[in-house]
Chains A and B, each alone.
Chain A
């Protein structure tokens, strides 16, 4: 009797395996899982939890990513093997096919609004910082939009590279500097050279004579027009004076 009970007591001394608590916290969304994924942009560290992808960075090492994540997001981080379904989603997202779920908790409501709006910019197109500011209802907060985008914890997936300066300069990029931004935009099929030539000449919009609609130069609807039907405008007033209305898709100006 006594030995059986003593043995049973020892059974109660078994300890949970290493990392158990972290895995539990990860499952309820209090810690995030992360893995390295091979993408068109090269290896990218991606962190996620049950709400969606929470961070992405092209870090040089695990240690660098973990340190950056703890500083920026402030949750625990657990390394796991890359799940196959997430790898497929990542590939699709970067090809512009699917919308991933994102976890933006911890960001200010303003930053969240900026990033959600940025998600609406289609692949192959760009918008000015001021466009985001106006669309989220803070038309004067252009600089704050720049800051929110610079601190985007999920670059590439939330395409902050598609937001550029009105003067044609590419603008800075948290995901690897202006050079990286240029490369990603080229990869997505943006005609950067043309865009910058237009900007330097002071043209911000292009209109199509046949439809009397004006767009941002990268808007899909503008690009399908014949060359001889395209008119360039310096600003909204000029376009409206010529009898043009803003495009309902790229919304270069508030639709009155």
Chain B
């Protein structure tokens, strides 16, 4: 028990930003992102408590947490579509926080909302591949889909994001 606790603490500290970013890209807002990330770690902890020590040691933490987070999002948004926030021509944000000094917060939020507006199967594939930068094999594992399907979904998702909606959509 003591060992599990220390292992878990390490895992939360190591992966909190990555999992929060994942929740943010999948849900499109910071509030839901925190809920998803908290829920992900909570489920991870409950699972860890039931795992034998060698299974915990051999765990591929990153892929495992991504898989849990994707399932958390799938379960909570079933039937609910994320709100897409329109921020066209918005005023420049003042005082960018220390967290994002490259892009301003509003732009990041807008981008997250746009990504979250994608149909779920494209969204998951695009986010895991290009936001989280997993390999195609890791994405396929986390989504439990064939690599070919993942590649196609990433491709179509990117097309939608660039505004090229005609042609080879999933129609």
Task: List residues of chain A with CB under 8 Å of any chain B CB.
Answer: 1, 4-5, 7-17, 20-21, 23-25, 27-28, 30
Q: Which residues of A contact B103 (CB under 8 A)?
A: 7, 10
Are B45 and A11 within 8 A (Cβ)?
A: no
In this assembly, does B106 line the interface, its C-beta being within 8 Å of a C-beta of chain A? no
Question: Which listed residue (A7, A14, A23, A28) contacts B21, Cβ 8 A?
Answer: A14
Are B25 and A11 within 8 A (Cβ)?
A: yes
Are B24 and A5 within 8 A (Cβ)?
A: no
Known: A14-B99, A20-B16. Is A30-B5 also a contact (CB below 8 A)? yes
Binding site secondary structure of chain B: helix
Which interface residue of A7, A9, A13, A14 has the most chain B CB atoms within 10 A? A14
Task: List residues of chain B with CB under 8 Å of any chain A CB.
Answer: 5, 8-9, 12-13, 16-21, 24-25, 30, 34, 37-38, 41-42, 45, 99-100, 102-103, 108, 111-112, 115, 126-127, 130-133, 158, 161-162
Q: Which residues of B contact A28 (CB under 8 A)?
A: 8, 41-42, 45
Q: Which residues of A contact B45 (CB under 8 A)?
A: 28
Known: A9-B130, A15-B20. Is A30-B100 also a contact (CB below 8 A)? no
Q: Which residues of B contact A1 (CB under 8 A)?
A: 158, 162
Closest residue of chain A to B42 (Cβ to Cβ) is A27
Q: Which residues of B contact A10 (CB under 8 A)?
A: 100, 102-103, 108, 111
Q: Which residues of A contact B115 (CB under 8 A)?
A: 8, 11
Are B24 and A11 within 8 A (Cβ)?
A: yes
Q: A88 to nearest B CB, angstroms?
A: 25
Are B38 and A27 within 8 A (Cβ)?
A: yes
Q: Which residues of B contact A21 (CB under 8 A)?
A: 12-13, 16
Question: Which listed residue (B13, B17, B30, B131) contacts A11, Cβ 8 A?
Answer: B131
Known: A27-B38, A28-B42. Is A14-B20 also a contact (CB below 8 A)? yes
CA distance in complex: A24, B34 (Å): 10
Q: B113 to nearest A CB, angstroms?
A: 11
